Structure 1
């Protein structure tokens, strides 16, 4: 799918999906890639701690793992190492159960579907192809567009701009506390799924209105959820 660079036609409301852990089973692949990239450069960070920061943009993730007072001269090399290591998994990137049908069901109900991710542009393209729903995805916002990444609300705001809707006519679906925090800062209500490895309590604490076990459960309960129909849908 080509990445959209301009707002799409406003058809009522937009659902903004996080990607890693929300639609794609990639959180732990990123965890291994970051842990190994750090190890190769002499920084031994427990994988469990790395996991707790997946979903942030690179700068924020490295701040959390290595401290804000670190020598930032090595950040570009660390990021490049992660990207190289993660690319080895691209052939194994798969959607979470129910994710493909969830995206299509939202589009059928009149939502514009926009992906909002701290992934690189290349990673996002791989995941869109693997998801197999590129024809119903209106736009994609990535870290290439807004380098700071989550939990700053920049990616969410860019996704809103690409959808051409105000915050009150959008919903965000994510899988990490950072998703809830970023959505809240942008004024967007948020739903959560547990497939990113966070607990239900943590996602509620991050501001998510409702939390589902998986994309498949959200799909099964779609008609009773905030995603039943977009605002203004007749």
Structure 2
């Protein structure tokens, strides 16, 4: 991140973009309850509101220089929670297999372990890989497509195949990005160890 970009990231909490992000988080349990109860139309409406607020908070943060550290944490957290909620709600109704839930959740548990290892070596989280963003995008839009087919059966003939295509591809990319992240973490740790006193300055790639 450049120095100019760093100056734009503030530690403010009460900003309009952050309030929109908090609204998204508050709506997660509402979304999950509606989905479990089979009220797919209302669940989709909540998801649309959350998606619009996601777009608005990003736009407003950039437009009015209100990018904050809190916002940078809340946005990806909200995305993941909606993905988890959609997976749990659909799996509880046997609309998606539980192994998909384990694949997606297992990947984040894996990265949590990588984060703990990095922290033990004195590192913070590494930059998010673009592949991870693409995977999140696929998953974030795959599950609503499956929900759309449940809410409006006349659309299922195209929404279900499209949703499953996005979902399977997104799950694959999700793990691929996670493995790349883990490899980069190992590289950073080895590089630091190689430069420490008493160790060789050379490092095999």
Q: What TM-score, normalized to structure 1? A: 0.25
Q: What TM-score, normalized to structure 2? A: 0.27
Q: Which has the higher helix share?
A: 2
User: Which is greater in Rg?
Assistant: 2
